[in-house]
A and B are shown apart, each in its own frame.
Chain A
Amino acid sequence: MTIATGKAEARATLQPDRSGVLSQVWEHRADYAYVLPAIAVMLIVIAYPIYYTIELSFFNTPPGLQLRDKIFVGFDNYTAILTSQVFWKVTWNTLIWTLGSTFVSFVLGSAAALALHREFIGRGVLRAILIIPWVISAVAASYIWKWIYHSDFGIIGAVLVGLGLADRPPNFIDSVSTVLPSLIVVNIWREFPFAMIMMMAGLQTVPEQLLRAAKVDGANAWQRFWHVTFPHLRNVSTITILLLAVANFNSFIIPWIMTGGGPSNASHIWITHIYELAFGRQRWGVASAYSVLLFLILMTLGYFYVRALSGNERKDGSA
Chain B
Amino acid sequence: MRRIRLGGAVLRGAVSTALVASLMSAPALAAPPVDLSKWSPEYVRSIAGTQDFDTAADCAKVTPLDYKGRLTFWYQGVFEGDPDLLRQYYKDFFATFRKTYPNIQLEEQALTYNDLLDKFRTALLGNAAPMAVRLQILGGTEFASKGYLQPLKPEDVGYSTEDFWPGAMKAVTWDGVTYGIPTNNETMAFIWNADIFKRAGLNPDKPPATWDDVVKYSKQIHDKLGIAGYGLVARKNAGNTPYRFMPQLWAYGGGVFDETTASPTYKKIELDSPQSKAALQASYDMYVRDKSVPVSALTNQQADNQPLFLAGQLGMMISHPSDYNVMLDLQKKATGADKDKAQTVIDNMRYGLIPTGPDGKRAVVFGGSNIHILKPEYVEGGKVDEPAAKAIICMWTSPEWSLKMAYAGSNPGNLNGFKTKWMKERLDNIKFLDVTTSMLPYGIPFPALPQSPEIMNIIIPDMLQNALTGAMTVDQAADDAAKKVKDLMGGGL
Contact = CB atoms under 8 A, between A and B. Distances in A.
Contacts of A285: 493
Nearest to B227: A152
B179 to A, nearest CB: 15
Contacts of A171: 295
Nearest to A261: B236
A152 B148 contact: no
A64 B450 contact: yes
B237 A280 contact: yes
A69 to B, nearest CB: 8
A263 B295 contact: no
Contact of A280 (B145, B148, B454, B493): B454
Interface string B458-493: 100110011011111000000000000000100111
Interface string B286-320: 00000000111111000000001000010000000
A152 B228 contact: yes
B491 A60 contact: yes
Contact of B142 (A63, A175, A176): A63
B146 interface: yes
Contacts of B465: 262-264
Interface stretch (B64-72, B117-125, B248-256, B321-329): B117-125
B299 A146 contact: yes
Interface residues on A, range: 35 or more
B409 to A, nearest CB: 24
A258 B300 CA distance: 11
A53 interface: no
B348 interface: no
Contacts of B142: 63-64
B458 A77 contact: no
A80 B469 contact: no
Contacts, number: 101
B150 interface: no
Contact of B493 (A77, A153, A173, A260): A77
A276 B299 contact: no
Given A174-B298, A260-B236, A264-B462, A64 B469 contact: no
B121 A279 contact: yes
A245 B148 CA distance: 41
A201 to B, nearest CB: 39
Contacts of B295: 151-152, 168-169, 171, 174
A255 to B, nearest CB: 12
Contact of A279 (B122, B147, B471): B122
Contacts of A281: 454, 458
A66 B147 contact: yes
B297 A174 contact: yes
A174 B492 CA distance: 30
A168 B295 CA distance: 10
B296 A151 contact: yes
Given A80-B493, A146-B299, A174-B297, A263 B469 contact: yes
Nearest to A279: B118
Contacts of A60: 491, 493
Closest 6 CB pairs of A and B: A151-B295, A264-B471, A263-B298, A62-B491, A151-B296, A64-B450
Interface of B: 118, 121-122, 125, 142, 145-148, 228, 234-237, 294-299, 308, 313, 450-451, 453-454, 457-458, 461-462, 465-466, 468-472, 488, 491-493
14 contacts: A60-B493, A62-B491, A66-B146, A151-B294, A153-B296, A173-B299, A174-B295, A174-B297, A175-B469, A260-B237, A263-B298, A263-B469, A279-B122, A281-B458
